[in-house]
A and B are shown apart, each in its own frame.
Chain A
Amino acid sequence: MAEKRNRLHHRRDRSKKIFFAIMVALPLLQFAVMYVGVNANSFIMAFQHYENAASGKGFDITFAGIDNFQEAWTLLSEKSYMLEISLTGFLVTMFISYPLALIFSFYIYKKYPFSGFFKTVLFLPQIISSLIFSTLFKYMVGTVYTELTGAAMGFLSDPDTTFGTVLFFNVWVSFGINVLMFSNAMGNIDESVVESAQLDGVNIIQEFFHITIPSAWPTVVSCTIITVAGIFTNQMYLYDLFGDGGKFEIASIGYFLYQKASIADMVKTPTEPSMGILSALGLIFTFILVPTSMLLKKLLTKLGPSVD
């Protein structure tokens, strides 16, 4: 009897394993090709030179040594402002967008007047394409502004205000998913903790800093890690605002990499870097980011606030 049960159990185990293997096969193939394959190919391409084949069909590929890295480094030195712009975008997210999102989330979590309406409005940029918001925004700070004030040009056309306006747009449309995450995380705060703090005479600001923020801290850390991981891929909505004809004096690295990849050829041209050079550039940034984001995660987890 026991043997029969064992055999049945064994057969069920085997069928489970077979089912598991069949179900994960295609997603794992996708992972192997689109993650492992793509990253391995990035690495290989960074060490390759492409030339148009003499036959006119395909390319002649040769080993490039560190040429692509040297060219990528030169490009980066010439356009070092891109690094500054990407870092400024990151700092604005961390020190303006996130604090504002936390404050707005607190308002929603406490269910103050019209909190449901504000939650919906704050979420709108998540629903409506950034392409539409950027198009409408361009009219608002351009045509509408000049019509109202009689100014000669709009905020995005004036070189003195272009970057500030781009940063403003980044903050303006940034709240959607963050407010949702933060307010949901705040919703899990134990009401009895809040009530006893209020009995102790804690005011709204103290409650925010000593109870709400520490409770939502794991979510803040996760969002920060995602933001750090995206420093060099964040286009800062520049492609939405300027398209291909971008204002390269305010290009972020994410914008530059996307815009160049959309027009780059395998072979380097006098004006555009090759895909090999772009791959080398990507690798340089990846090597900077991996240790940075890991270190930051450890630091934030260790040094973060706790509920008093």
Chain B
Amino acid sequence: MKKSKNKLNKVVVIALFVILVVYAISMLFPLLWGFLTSLKSSLDFDTLRNVLGFPDMEYSNDTFFKLSNYTSMFKDINLSRSVSFFAGNEEIIHNSENTVWTMLFNSLFYALGGSLVSAFVTMCMAYLCAKYKVKAAKWIYGMVIVTMTIPTVGSYPSTITLLRSLNLYDSWLGYFFQKFHFGGMYFLLFYAFYETLSDAYCEAAEIDGASQLRIMFSVIIPLSMTIFSTVTLIVFVQLWNDYQTPLLYMPTKPTLAFGIHYFTNKTVSGGFAERGEPGKIALCMLLAIPVLILFIALKDKIMGNITIGGIKG
């Protein structure tokens, strides 16, 4: 009986191991292939159809050793964007010319600024709701739960028109205003942390005469740094990869992901397009490499003990 149980357990574990190895190969092979292809020349890949082999040095010397697919994108890419809309009766026109440097800067500003604001606001709201014995705290908590469980569909047109009428469309101010959003899973995560945090820290500071602001910045925030940095990191990665939100609400402020979406989906000729498919793949790798490095360095923090239980209410 025990022998057959052990045998069954072994078979199940081996079967799962094999499935996971196949999955891991399917996940890592495209990334490796992508990186190798980004080092090939268009002649090597597109014309001579060297799709699976290593870069042929006769044709890919420049792209392999001098990384010319990567260096040329900084010189040759220029993404022109233009949008016009009405804010009331006033017609507003925005234009922009964007190099890869501009898009990189936009990405950094978008992801770093957005993640810091978003995580900070969420942390403060969760702290206030968990620790302040005022009626409004309970209402706000209730609102978070209700908005999490009541889905709304198709609010893009409404968001666009509202942002336009408030003059917040296609602007950084509008973007950061949207980042003052405090609901969702991360609110619950912070809330659960503050609920279990002893009141003694705040009471001791209060007795010492510390103001509420001082308590928050000198006591609460340092205690929350582990969760705060984890949430900031996760949101940073999400925003770094996000191209659909800027495409919809900030059309003339393209991030790197936005630019890559543009260059991999539109037919573009001349300039960087001469680099063919390897050029497009090099662009993709440029987006992937920073987050991969971040992930390797901070893997345990990013994949830390983030969990959700049941949603009450």
A→B interface (CB under 8 Å): 12, 15-17, 19-21, 23-24, 26-31, 33-35, 37-39, 41-42, 45, 53, 55, 57-59, 103-104, 107, 112-114, 117-133, 135-137, 139-140, 143-144, 147-148, 172, 180-181, 184-185, 188, 201, 203-205, 218-219, 221-223, 225, 228-230, 232-233, 239, 243-245, 253, 257-258, 261-262, 264, 266, 275-276, 278-279, 281-283, 285-286, 289-290, 293-294, 297, 301
Contact = CB atoms under 8 A, between A and B. Distances in A.
A266 B161 contact: yes
B140 to A, nearest CB: 7
A140 B52 CA distance: 10
A282 B155 contact: yes
Given A24-B128, A203-B5, A257-B156, A147 B51 contact: yes
A185 B307 contact: yes
- Secondary structure of the A contact surface, majority rule: helix
Interface residues of B, number: 97
B27 A124 contact: yes
A113 B211 CA distance: 52
Interface in B124-181: 124-125, 128, 132, 134, 136-137, 140, 143, 147, 149-162, 166, 177-178, 180-181
B301 interface: no
28 contacts: A23-B125, A27-B180, A27-B181, A38-B162, A41-B162, A42-B157, A42-B158, A45-B157, A57-B89, A59-B86, A104-B16, A120-B299, A121-B20, A129-B257, A131-B243, A148-B52, A172-B26, A180-B303, A185-B307, A201-B5, A203-B9, A219-B310, A222-B311, A239-B244, A243-B264, A258-B244, A261-B157, A285-B154
- 3 shortest A-B CB distances, which residue pairs? A282-B154, A243-B265, A218-B310
Contacts of B292: 127-128
B219 interface: no
A15 to B, nearest CB: 6
B128 A293 contact: no
B154 A104 contact: no
Contacts, number: 286
Interface stretch (B30-38, B63-71, B95-103, B221-229): B30-38
A30 B178 contact: yes
Contacts of B52: 144, 147-148
Contact of B24 (A12, A38, A118, A204): A118
Among B149, B157, B162, max chain A CB count under 10 A is at: B157
Given A57-B91, A144-B52, A20 B128 contact: yes
Contact of A205 (B12, B90, B91, B266): B12
Nearest to B243: A131
Contacts of A253: 153
Contacts of A266: 161
Interface of B: 1-2, 5, 8-9, 12-13, 16-17, 20, 23-24, 26-31, 33-34, 37, 49, 51-52, 86, 88-91, 121, 124-125, 128, 132, 134, 136-137, 140, 143, 147, 149-162, 166, 177-178, 180-183, 206, 211-213, 237, 240-241, 243-244, 247-248, 257, 260-261, 264-266, 277, 280-281, 284, 287-288, 291-292, 295, 299, 302-303, 305-311
B89 A33 contact: no
A109 B284 CA distance: 33
A222 B303 contact: no
Given A30-B181, A147-B51, A275-B160, A127 B307 contact: no
Contacts of B137: 20
Contacts of A285: 153-154
Nearest to B164: A266
